[in-house]
Amino acid sequence: MLKTILIVVILFEFLIIGHEFGHYITAKKVGIKINEFSIGMGPAIISKQKGETLYALRAFPIGGYVAMEGEDDDSQDERSFNQKTIPQKMLVVSAGAIMNYLMAILILVMMFMYIGAPSTTIKDVVEGSPAAVSGIAPGDTIVGVNGVEADEWSIITEEIQKYGEGDIVAVDVLKGDTDEVVTMDLQLFLNEQGMPAIGVYADYERNLIYSVKKAFAGSVDLIFVMFESLRMLISGEASVNDVVGPVGIVSVMGDAAAQGVIYVMYLSALLSVNLAVVNLLPLPALDGGRLLFLLLCGITKKQLDPNIEGRIHYLGFVLLLVLMVVITVKDVNQFILH
């Protein structure tokens, strides 16, 4: 359990540091003065003043923050946040969530590189399958199915799945330097999903282009999962009892670690997307709340008093802390006491 807690703490800090670094580097690029960049919360353990910015490592590894000049007060410094244009402010505010999304993609790329991509070369042939009966052997390469050129494994499976039990399929196979077209009957052979198949397994290879494509597609799927979860919470199809906090995440991460590194990487990508989406919700204290105020200012052409906005975000922060305490108590009852 201690090892799992340590992994979760490191993972959270990694994701939060990435989030805050997104704010930091974007603010620097648009010329905003950064007063402090801190990792963790509470009293500083190590701090160093470099130029105009204080860099600090703080005692409690439960977050981090970037303190920008004029972010929550009416600073007259020309390099303050509140002196920048609305598009610049919106870019800085949204940069944290964008960074988390990019981090999720990076994690997924590494995951798919670790898994490897299915090539069109055969690794194993199921004994008695249509492929085995037709003479296909490990090491052969499938280059086409029913006249359709196949340079990806997904094309092979898609073409075969167009046909049903008892259909005849023509498979173009490269055996060394010899190109052969063999026909096979799909009669009475089903794969693990109960679909007619020819009975072959692909050899896997590490492919960066494939991994990047799969990572982008996977990240979009994770976003849809997040929005579907939010929709279910709002509609009442799911309840707060289905939401987990840090304690629940430790339990889930422990289960993932027991199943292998792939599950941990996937859960890490999900958490990064979660952090991005939740931070963009239009609630006070979250980046989405700040974006909402900026959007209203852009529409009305009126600037809200930064001190008033700061108080609203502070109240929102307190309410979020209360919610976190409630979820933590619920998690303790659910995952520890029961």
The one catalytic residue in 20, 71, 159, 309 is 20
Contacts of 271 (CB under 8 A, 6+ apart): 11, 12, 15, 249
As beta bridge partners, residue 142 has: 173
**What are the residue ranges of helices labelled H in the chain?**
2-29, 86-115, 130-133, 153-160, 208-235, 246-259, 261-279, 287-300, 306-331
C-beta separation of 189 from 163 below 8 A: no
Checking 55-59 for CB contacts under 8 A at 24+ apart, the result is none
Of 291, 263, 140, which is closest to residue 201 (Cα–Cα)? 140
Helix (H, G, I), strand (E, B) or coil at 176: coil
Copy the structure tokens of residue 6. 């340590």
**In which residue are the tokens 């700061």 written?**
310
Active site residue 20: yes
Contacts of the segment 151-158: beta carbons below 8 A, 24+ positions apart: 151/120, 152/120, 153/117, 153/118, 153/119, 153/120, 153/202, 154/118, 156/120
Q: Which residues are catalytic?
A: 20
